[in-house]
Structure 1
Amino acid sequence: MTKPRVLISDKMDPNAAAIFRERGCEVDEITGETPEQLIARIGDYDGLAIRSSTKVTKAVLDAATNLKVIGRAGIGVDNVDIPAASAKGVVVMNTPFGNSITTAEHAIALIFALARQLPEADASTQAGKWEKNRFMGVEVTGKTLGLIGAGNIGSIVASRALGLRMKVVAFDPFLTPERAVEMGIEKVDLDALLARADFITLHTPLTDQTRNILNRENLAKTKKGVRIVNCARGGLIDEAALKDALDSGHVAGAALDVFETEPAKASPLFGTPNFICTPHLGASTNEAQVNVALQVAEQMADYLVNGGVTNALNMPSLSAEEAPKLRPYMALAEKLGSLVGQLAHDNLTKISIEVEGAAAQLNPKPITAAVLAGLMKNYSQTVNMVNAPFLARERGLDVREVRHDREGVYHTLVRVTVGTSQGERSVAGTLFGNTQPRLVEIFGIGIEADLEGDMLYIVNEDAPGFIGRIGTLLGESGINIGTFHLGRRNAGGEAVLLLSLDNPISQGVMAEACKLPGVKTVKALAF
Structure 2
Amino acid sequence: MAPKVLISDKLSPAAVQIFKDRGCDVDFLPDVGKDKEKLAEIIGQYDGLAIRSATKATEKIIAVASNLKVIGRAGIGVDNVDIPAATAKGIVVMNTPFGNAITTAEHAIAMMFAVTRQIPAADVSTQAGKWEKSRFMGNEVTSKTLGLVGCGNIGSIVADRAIGLKMKVIAFDPFLSQERAIDLGVEKVELENLFKRADFITLHTPLTDRTRNIIDAEAIETMKDGVYLINCARGGLVDEIALRTALDSGKVAGAAVDVFTEEPAKENALFGAPNLVCTPHLGASTSEAQENVALQVAEQMSDYLVNGAVTNALNMPSISAEEAPRLAPFVKLAEQLGSFAGQATETGIKAVRIEYEGDVAEMNVKAMTAAALTGVLRPLLQTVNMVSAPEVARERGIVIEDVRREQHGAYENYIRLTVITERQERSVAGTVFGDQKPRIIQIKGINMEAELGENMLYVTNEDKPGFIGQLGSILGDAKINIATFNLGRKIEGEEAICLVEIDGELPETAISEIEAIKQVKQAKLLHFAGQ
TM range (shorter): over 0.9
For 1:198, the equivalent position in structure 2 comes to: 199
State the secondary structure of the residue aligned to 1:335. helix
For 2:181, the equivalent position in structure 1 comes to: 180
State the secondary structure of the residue aligned to 1:55. coil
User: Shift of the alpha carbon at 1:224?
Assistant: 2.4
Residues 126-175 of structure 1, C-alpha deviations (whole Å, 9 max, x = no match): 33333222222111001111111111111111110010000111111221
For 1:305, the equivalent position in structure 2 comes to: 306
Q: Following superposition of structure 1 onto structure 2, how do residues 218-297 of structure 1 map, counting pairs within 5 Å?
A: 218-297=219-298
- Most deviating of 239-248 and 186-195: 239-248
For 2:2, the equivalent position in structure 1 comes to: 3
Distance 1:498 1:46 in 2: 44
For 1:161, the equivalent position in structure 2 comes to: 162
Distance 1:62 1:477 in 2: 40
- Most deviating of 228-237 and 310-319: 310-319
For 2:20, the equivalent position in structure 1 comes to: 21
Distance 2:111 2:505 in 1: 40
Distance 1:406 1:3 in 2: 46
For 1:118, the equivalent position in structure 2 comes to: 119
Distance 2:255 2:470 in 1: 48
One-letter identity of the residue aligned with 2:129: G
8 Å contact from structure 2 (residues 449, 486) kept in 1 = yes
State the secondary structure of the residue aligned to 2:130. coil
For 2:144, the equivalent position in structure 1 comes to: 143
State the secondary structure of the residue aligned to 2:400. strand
For 2:37, the equivalent position in structure 1 comes to: 36
For 1:376, the equivalent position in structure 2 comes to: 377
User: Shift of the alpha carbon at 1:222?
Assistant: 2.1
- Most deviating of 212-221 and 324-333: 212-221
For 1:12, the equivalent position in structure 2 comes to: 11
State the secondary structure of the residue aligned to 2:6. strand
For 2:332, the equivalent position in structure 1 comes to: 331
8 Å contact from structure 1 (residues 328, 434) kept in 2 = no
Q: Following superposition of structure 1 onto structure 2, how do residues 509-520 of structure 1 map, counting pairs within 5 Å?
A: 509-520=510-521
One-letter identity of the residue aligned with 1:24: G
- Most deviating of 142-151 and 441-450: 441-450
8 Å contact from structure 1 (residues 458, 497) kept in 2 = yes
8 Å contact from structure 1 (residues 76, 94) kept in 2 = yes
User: Shift of the alpha carbon at 1:408?
Assistant: 0.7
Q: Following superposition of structure 1 onto structure 2, how do residues 480-491 of structure 1 map, counting pairs within 5 Å?
A: 480-491=481-492
**TM-score normalized with structure 1 length:** 0.96
Distance 1:221 1:510 in 2: 29
For 1:321, the equivalent position in structure 2 comes to: 322
Distance 1:507 1:237 in 2: 24
User: Shift of the alpha carbon at 1:103?
Assistant: 0.6
User: Shift of the alpha carbon at 1:518?
Assistant: 2.9
For 1:402, the equivalent position in structure 2 comes to: 403
8 Å contact from structure 1 (residues 315, 386) kept in 2 = no
Deviating above 6 A after TM superposition, structure 1's stretches of 4 or more consecutive aligned residues are none
Distance 2:230 2:323 in 1: 46
Distance 1:397 1:63 in 2: 43
Residue 64 (str. 1) matches residue 62 (str. 2) = no
- Most deviating of 330-339 and 2-11: 2-11
User: Shift of the alpha carbon at 1:214?
Assistant: 1.8
For 1:464, the equivalent position in structure 2 comes to: 465
For 2:83, the equivalent position in structure 1 comes to: 82
User: Shift of the alpha carbon at 1:434?
Assistant: 4.8
State the secondary structure of the residue aligned to 2:487. strand
8 Å contact from structure 2 (residues 407, 413) kept in 1 = no
State the secondary structure of the residue aligned to 2:349. coil
User: Shift of the alpha carbon at 1:345?
Assistant: 4.5
Residues 3-35 of structure 1, C-alpha deviations (whole Å, 9 max, x = no match): 222111012222211222222222111132321
Distance 1:178 1:403 in 2: 26
- Most deviating of 402-411 and 49-58: 402-411
- Residues 216 and 410 (structure 1), Cα distance of their counterparts in 2 relative to 1, 3 Å cut: farther
Structure 1 segments unaligned to the other structure (5+ residues): none
One-letter identity of the residue aligned with 1:14: P
Distance 1:395 1:443 in 2: 25
- Most deviating of 306-315 and 156-165: 306-315
Distance 2:448 2:224 in 1: 45
For 1:45, the equivalent position in structure 2 comes to: 46
One-letter identity of the residue aligned with 2:236: G
For 1:506, the equivalent position in structure 2 comes to: 507
State the secondary structure of the residue aligned to 2:215. coil
One-letter identity of the residue aligned with 1:419: I
One-letter identity of the residue aligned with 1:3: A
8 Å contact from structure 1 (residues 457, 525) kept in 2 = yes
State the secondary structure of the residue aligned to 1:201. strand
Distance 1:123 1:258 in 2: 22
Distance 2:8 2:188 in 1: 43
Residues 155-200 of structure 1, C-alpha deviations (whole Å, 9 max, x = no match): 1111100100001111112211111111111111212211211111
State the secondary structure of the residue aligned to 1:446. strand
- Residues 270 and 509 (structure 1), Cα distance of their counterparts in 2 relative to 1, 3 Å cut: farther
State the secondary structure of the residue aligned to 2:431. strand
8 Å contact from structure 1 (residues 49, 71) kept in 2 = yes
8 Å contact from structure 2 (residues 478, 506) kept in 1 = no
State the secondary structure of the residue aligned to 1:349. strand
For 1:473, the equivalent position in structure 2 comes to: 474
One-letter identity of the residue aligned with 2:365: P
8 Å contact from structure 2 (residues 359, 407) kept in 1 = no
For 1:427, the equivalent position in structure 2 comes to: 428
User: Shift of the alpha carbon at 1:322?
Assistant: 1.2
- What fraction of aligned residue pairs are identical, expressed as a percent? 61
Distance 2:88 2:507 in 1: 32
Q: CA RMSD in A?
A: 1.6
- Residues 321 and 137 (structure 1), Cα distance of their counterparts in 2 relative to 1, 3 Å cut: same
Distance 1:405 1:492 in 2: 35
8 Å contact from structure 2 (residues 488, 498) kept in 1 = yes
Structure 2 segments unaligned to the other structure (5+ residues): none
Distance 1:492 1:266 in 2: 61
User: Shift of the alpha carbon at 1:240?
Assistant: 1.8
For 1:132, the equivalent position in structure 2 comes to: 133
